[in-house]
Amino acid sequence: MLSEHIDLIESLGLKLFFVAIFILIGLAIHDVLKRGNVPRFGRFIVWLVLFLGCAGFVAKGLIELGWEGSGLG
C-alpha cells in the first residue's frame, strides 16, 4: 500500500513542511516586531506582505490541483 501512494505522501509532506515554515517565519517576524517597537502602520505592512506571500503559495497549489484534475498538467 505504501508504494502505491508514495507520491501522495511526498506531496502532503512537502505541503505540511511549507506550512510549518510559514508558521515559524510568522513567529519570528512577530518577535522582531515586538522587540523593535515598530509602529502600527509598519506592522500592518509587514503582515500584509507576509499574508500576500502565503496567499500566493496557496493560490499556486490550488491552480496546480485544478490543472491536474482537468488533465492539463
What pLDDT was estimated at residue 1? 65
Backbone Cα Rg of the chain: 17
Q: What is the DSSP string of the chain?
A: -TTTSHHHHHHHHHHHHHHHHHHHHHHHHHHHHHHTT--HHHHHHHHHHHHHHHHHHHHHHHHHHHHHHHT--
Residue 37 backbone phi and psi in degrees, to 5: 50, 50
Q: Which pLDDT tens digit goes with each residue over 20-71?
A: 998 998 899 999 999 999 999 999 999 999 889 889 988 998 898 888 878 7
